[in-house]
Amino acid sequence: MTLTRLLFDLDETLAPDDTLDRALFDELAGEVGARYGIAPARLVAALDGAATSLWDRGEAAAYAMRIGISPWEGLWGPFEASDDPMLAALHRFAPTYRLEAWTAALAESGLAVDGLAETLAARFAVERHAQQAPYPWSREVLELLRARYRLGLKLAGTGLAAFFDPLVISGDLGVGKPEPAIFAHALARAAASPSETVMIGDSWHRDVAGAVSAGLQAIWINPSGARPPAQHLSAVPVAADLRDVPGVLRALG
């Protein structure tokens, strides 16, 4: 069957995510290190450990894992008030979590400076949210692709929403990739069959394996050139980034 529908992941496919987190962590840790005489890498490692530990003990930890919200995103994500009990739990938890994570990281780094944890927690949340934007090439490639395919997005954000129909938000469904239900929901919204649809994303587990299990084709965004974790899926086509996707789709026919 002719390919007519493309589904996209957002983070690290259409827009940077972990790379922005890491860069901002390094920037803030560098400022703290220069002012207080500690190794910036020590503070970053302490923050990573504290954030992960606290996040995993949070009341919405299982839900966050299910829909793909990481501890790092917890340090800046806009978790708004909601009638949904799990989203409401994230909204309540996030401010305390952020302050406790930075407080614990500073303590482990040997720093006890009044107000510093509050300042860093607030700065990271505000500055990281302000940095959220697509890769410079995303709009151009999406313009090219939507001339031939209908585009769907698995998570709204970064000002690219106008390119996509449907927008499928994991938090609205209470389930995320690689669960079959979210792929089934996206296909139903698009009135598309699995055989005419390609999932494009950077996560082997969530995007590639999840899509293939749901009957879709997949393209793996793999900038590092890593080997496929599952040998039986080694034939899945690979793109270094979104700019390679039009050529891969032409090869798929």
- Domains annotated on the chain, with CATH: 5-15+135-252 (3.40.50.1000), 18-131 (no CATH)
Q: Which of 90-99, 167-176, 227-236 has the highest mean pLDDT?
A: 90-99
Tens of pLDDT, residue by residue over 113-159, are 999 999 999 999 999 999 999 999 999 999 999 999 999 886 555 67
Beta strands 197-201 and 217-221 are parallel
pLDDT at 1 over 70: no
Q: What is the pLDDT of residue 161?
A: 82
Note whether 85 and 97 are within 8 A (CB). no
| Rounded (5°) CA angle 71-39-73 | 15
pTM, 2 dp: 0.88
Helical segments of the chain, H only: 18-36, 40-56, 61-67, 71-74, 85-108, 116-131, 138-146, 170-173, 180-190, 210-213, 245-252
Could you tell me the sign of the dihedral formed by the alpha carbons of 108, 110, 116, 120, in that order? negative
pLDDT at 174 over 80: no
**Which of the two residues, 68 and 135, has the higher pLDDT score?**
135
Please provide the average confidence, as pLDDT, over all residues in the chain. 92
**Which of the two residues, 78 and 106, has the higher pLDDT score?**
106
Beta strands 238-239 and 5-8 are unpaired
Query: Distance (Å, rounded) from C-alpha 199 to C-alpha 225?
Result: 19
Note whether 130 and 141 are within 8 A (CB). no
For tokens 């390094």, the residue is 26
Pick the range with the lowest mean pLDDT from 37-46, 102-111, 165-174.
165-174
Q: Give Cβ neighbours of residue 45 (< 8 Å, ≥ 6 apart).
A: none
Query: Distance (Å, rounded) from C-alpha 12 to C-alpha 202?
Result: 6
Note whether 4 and 192 are within 8 A (CB). yes
* The two three-digit tokens of residue 241, written as one number: 């980034």
Radius of gyration for the chain, computed over Cα atoms and rounded to the nearest angstrom: 20
Q: How long a stretch of residues is the chain? A: 253
For tokens 């970053």, the residue is 44
Query: Distance (Å, rounded) from C-alpha 139 to C-alpha 111?
Result: 44
